[in-house]
Chain A
Amino acid sequence: MKLLKSLLGAAVIAGALGGSALAQDKVTIGVSVPAADHGWTGGVNYFAQQAIERLKKTYSNVDFVFASAPDAPKQIADIEDMVSTRNIDALVILPGDPDAMTSAIKQVKDAGKFVTVVDRQLSINGVENLYVAGDNPGLGANSAEYFKQALPEGGNIVILRGLPIPIDQQRFDAFVKGIEGTNIKVLDDEFANWNRDDGFKVMQDFLTRFPDIKAVWAQDDDIALGAIEAIKQAGRENDMFIVGGAGMQQMLQRVAAGDKLVPVDVSYSPAMIATAIELTTSHFTGGIQVAGRYILDSTLITKDNASEYLDDKSPF
């Protein structure tokens, strides 16, 4: 009897050990993104989930925990839960508000997890193992380059900005620096909050205020789509062109079709979250070095290369 008991006990212990050994082989990656509160973050959610589906099929030993949060406190709670209850090995995070979340992300790093930060720079350096982002100054600079080329004699332009956060400032500063020394004159700039309705309103008022506008820099496709309706309403679609940014399908179709109002777009794809998830997974499955900084180009999309970026399945 005694023997049986101890045998049973040994079996239980062995089972438990075996179980934990198995769990060690399994890798869990937490993915935390802001909620789909506008077109671009909608794209982030879509591409993140798509990448997770794909990688789950490819690697049976990699598991993912996905969470989407409407604000910084909720996102912080999400990652705390991931660490304490889901025992993640790595965190891929697109912080909604990077400044507010820096210390929470640092705690994940201090707990020995692999941390990948996407799109938005944290307020202190060296927290993340891997940084994947679009090129915001590049977006401004490439747009400015196109404006110089399209308006060789210069002319009046207006700028519709996003939200007052660092990304917007980087784009804006690079653009203004890019057109320095030319005859391109910025009549005014206003925030349109990366939102179609606000793009419509601000553009309507700019059209009322300025009888002569040669071009509009909206630096975002959602804003641009709203502004386009205002320009059409005023019947001034032949007087100007508009440049957005991000590479939204609706805009790319116009670019591909040779629409004079939307001659080009600048890429800033929400699919960068998929790039980040793929690279982070490779760190565990491929044993290759991925730590570092990975900046995706903000490429000028013209009629000639638009087909490379078209994807009818994308909701963005």
Chain B
Amino acid sequence: MSASAPDIAAKPKKGFRLELKTVGPLVALLLLVILGISLNENFLTYNNLTNVLARSSFIGIIAIGATFVITSGGLDLSVGSMAAVIAGIMIIVMNSLIPSLGIGVGVVLVGMGAGLLIGGAAGVGNGLMITRGRIEAFIVTLGTMGIFRSLVTFLADGGTLSLNFQVADVYRPVYYDGLFGVPWPIIVFALVAIGGEIVMRRTAFGRYCAAIGSNEQVARYSSINVDNVRLFTYILQGVLVAVAVLLYVPRLGSASSTTGVLWELEAIAAVIIGGTTLKGGYGRIWGTVVGVVILGLIGNILNLQSFISPYLNGAFQGVIIILAVLLQRGRRAS
């Protein structure tokens, strides 16, 4: 805790002076928005913005979990494959319960419950192997990444698992409908983000995460239960992956071995763009949210223009990501 204390205590003293280090991601976001507006008049329409936010929400919810994991000095590479396997099992559970429960909200609720349970269990598995098994997080989650990915391929028999058509109709509104015209995925993303920000800033757990990531030994001597805090970050990550999947399944009603490919990299990228340090010790939830929106907008802008060759999409993405981080680091040096 002592390691993170200066960070937190120092903030108010700085007063209202805006630091580019803090607002760096926001500047990058603003530049992207200006680019988007200049490229296409439909960019700022309500429909386009809700489209982008809704489809970014999966990565967003996962990335908030990843912020906690990374802040406490950990890493979870398995989230993308985990999402695929949760989606696959949810679909299997729902399809197999139709004869006994009939088609309706009941089946969907049981499916959602199953999803959350599997997510939590996967998190417990990752967390126990890392904390009790004393294996590097990178290796454990690289291993489970492969295990989950093959598992979903196996369950789908190499093909695609599709949700029963009528159940899919019952479930569909969870992605496509919303409250006061705001789609559900955006609402859930916002709630998770606000909750995450509060936990990170205002609770002992949040401070412990930063302390462990900053210096594990010091944290241990400060009588923080390092293993349990770490374990809990992985469980939280697992549950949040499940929450993201609950919103993903109703979109296309299917899961296959391509579901969630590279989501882990997108989530980690969003976390780092947002200002969290990859080696741990400092985490910023709102930054992660900005990072996720930046990544979502890059894809959107590329589709809204036609003068960058589609062959160069990856390059454009790379330049923006590096620029977004450069904007923060540049000020740190001066």
Contact = CB atoms under 8 A, between A and B. Distances in A.
Interface residues of B, number: 32
A73 to B, nearest CB: 16
A101 to B, nearest CB: 21
Contacts of B159: 36, 39, 42-43, 46, 314-316
A226 B40 CA distance: 24
A32 interface: no
Contacts, number: 92
Contacts of B256: 38-39, 42, 196
A160 to B, nearest CB: 10
Contact of B55 (A41, A204, A209): A204
Interface stretch (B43-51, B70-78, B205-213, B219-227): B43-51
A161 B310 contact: yes
Interface in A181-208: 188-191, 195-197, 200-202, 204-206, 208
A231 B234 CA distance: 37
Contact of A196 (B156, B158, B252): B252
Contacts of A161: 310
Contact of A37 (B252, B258, B311): B258
B304 interface: yes
Contacts of A209: 40, 42, 303-304
A234 B54 CA distance: 14
A248 B256 CA distance: 14
Nearest to A37: B257
A1 B56 CA distance: 85
A85 interface: no
Interface in B115-170: 153, 156-160, 162
A275 B251 CA distance: 36
Residue of B156, B304, B310 most packed against chain A (CB within 10 A): B310
A161 B309 CA distance: 13
Interface string B293-307: 000000110111010
B313 interface: yes
Contacts of B251: 200, 229
Give the 3 A-B residue pairs with the shortest CB-CB distance, closest first. Answer: A315-B159, A205-B303, A36-B158
24 contacts: A36-B159, A38-B256, A39-B159, A42-B153, A42-B159, A42-B256, A43-B159, A45-B158, A195-B261, A196-B254, A197-B258, A200-B251, A200-B252, A201-B55, A202-B303, A204-B51, A208-B51, A225-B254, A226-B252, A229-B252, A233-B176, A234-B47, A314-B159, A315-B159
